[in-house]
Amino acid sequence: MNNFSTLLVANRGEIASRVIRTAKKMGLNTVAIYTEADRHSPYVIDADLSVKIESSYLDSDAIISAAKTTGAGAIHPGYGFLSENHDFATKIQDEGIIWVGPNSDSIQIMGDKIEAKKHAIKAEMPILESVNDAASAKDIGYPLMIKAAAGGGGKGMRIVYDESQLDESIKLAKQEAMNAFGDDRIFIERYIERSRHIEVQIIADKHGNVLHLGERECSIQRRHQKIIEESPSPRIDSEQRDKLTQASLSLAKQINYVSAGTIEFLYDDDSGEIWFLEMNTRLQVEHPVTEMVTGIDIVEMQLRIADDQPITISQSEVSFQGHSIEARIYAEDPANDFLPSNGRLIADRNRDDKNIRWDTGVSKGMMIGTDFDPMLAKVISHDESRELAAAKLRKELENCHFGGFVNNIDFLINILGNESFLNGDTTTDFIARYNPPRSIEIDSNEKNFLLMATTLWLQHKNRSNAVVLGHIPSGWHNARLPYQQNSFELDETELTVRYKRQRDGSFIDEKNQVALINHVSNESIDIEFNKLRRRVNITQYENLLLVQHDKGNKLIKLIPRFKNEQELIQKGSLVSPMPGKVTEINVKTGDKVEKGQNLLVMEAMKMNHSISSNQDGIVEEIYVQEGDQLETGTSLLFIKSGDE
């Protein structure tokens, strides 16, 4: 590199690790920034040098100060946070530091979704009609989509189906937008239910060269955030592809765009109409699928462009090989309306080969909190066809040993195996229409196998750690004794395993089914049970065990012999459905409330969630205050039913 040798990454998590990886490959020194919540995050260790900031990742002055302190000649913003903040880009350049991204004018023009539409009109692109206030919304017609003018990533977005929801939805969207981007402006446009999100990756240098790297489809979403992305789109034909890519190149040239950017389109699956949505003036979360099909490192291109180097390949030299699919792993509960979850990551075992890529921001032992976006990792597959890429990705998710708290891996596996997904029917309402199972159900035989494997693994572990008579074989006895037993909670059901050790070293359960241990270690057990043999990966943290079966993992809870009665929840209590912070309480003691009425608002992972009453009644007690940080299951308030 000619103009800088040290790069500071103004971000966190998996994208910080990903940028650092390429920067190191290019021989650059790397600097990370972190807050106290990220003290033990992998990217902090990945960097050559790290600087703690006391405020937040939105503190531009602290980031610039860190760059000066460490001698960083360039700053890469990643995505989210300040990546599309034109004031931040200007301040960096005013300090003589290189900004790895587009110029601030392009960010201001296209990063503002409202202004971007004006330029799209100049480029003769069709757009969806939009307004900026509730009073004008009725002119568009319901359903409506509220969007943050300065945002992306699902933050500040709400679907509104009728006028009664509009004011509250606007308020929540503005709060989320301010929390995520420091800008609470919103706009409102028509919501197209049977649509696809198609986006074109472009890359441009400072010498007038502009390329496209093909299109991605990012239609499968929940809470307006993408969870599965792929390249190429299974729906777009060559004629449509040419139309979209050429329109994208024209728009990029019109605004003298530099660096990597993405131009998004909305495709109506029923009519075939296409509208310009927005331009993201940054690296996208889903950029790996483009890298997999083109073989081009987009971050490397960003860094070389920032160094004033010209793009060295022509459009005709960009080739597209095979198909790539990305799945995002989130700390969330699909069965509980995808609300955030938290806990300790007790297991993190996966593989990374040339056709499977893990971009991750976590490691074993980390506590996953609610301070940031719930995305933990991205898993990306590549193969010669879409069918093979989907099968490979699904198998990888089944085989990985990753978790310790509720997450969406089972849900992703079920989507990837869904017949409609495999047929390419991947519109934005995919989840609502096909309702893929939120978890993987296993039959009673598989449950018995897993619980017996877990029981004997625990017994081995206990004997290995024994300080008295540790040489005695696990389960050995010299007299007739009753069955030993363990009780577990699996899939919200309490199950008990009763077993005995036989003199030949095998074990039997109450049904006289025989279990034989072939090999056991601290990480797994090779067990034959009821004539079926399998190696089972197991990881324990306190009373939680992550146990791998043939189609994923199950989180099993070891039930103590004596239960704590304080854990029982009083009937009539409303409890927190997720970990998060109380930001607003809308009732007081003595208030009469109706079922469905908004009672309070919680913020978790930069998203605002309204907590509504589950019954008619009177608020007798409120147990929390604004600003309280809560765990899942915390009692919020007590409502006395009107029937009592």
Q: Which residues of 504-518 are buried (b: 16+ CB within 10 A; e: fewer)?
A: eeebebeeeeebebe
For residue 292, is it left (φ>0), alpha (ψ between -120 and 50) or beta? alpha
Half-sphere exposure of 114 (CA within 13 A, CB side): 13
Secondary structure letter of residue 231 according to DSSP: E
Beta bridge partners of 619: 639
Give the pair of three-digit tokens for residue 429: 């309402």
Largest CA distance in the chain: 89
- State CA 462 to chain mean position distance: 36
Spatial separation of the C-alpha atoms in residues 300 and 282, rounded to whole Å: 14
Secondary structure letter of residue 435 according to DSSP: -
**How many angstroms separate the Cα of 159 from the Cα of each of 162, 190, 193, 434?**
9, 10, 10, 19
Spatial separation of the C-alpha atoms in residues 158 and 174, rounded to whole Å: 10
Half-sphere exposure of 8 (CA within 13 A, CB side): 26
Which residues are annotated as catalytic? 282
Compute the CA torsion angle 230, 235, 237, 239 (nearest 10 deg). -100
Give the pair of three-digit tokens for residue 396: 């990888």
How many CB atoms sit inside 10 A of residue 354's CB? Answer: 7
37: amino acid identity, one letter: A
Rg of the chain's alpha carbons, rounded to an integer? 27
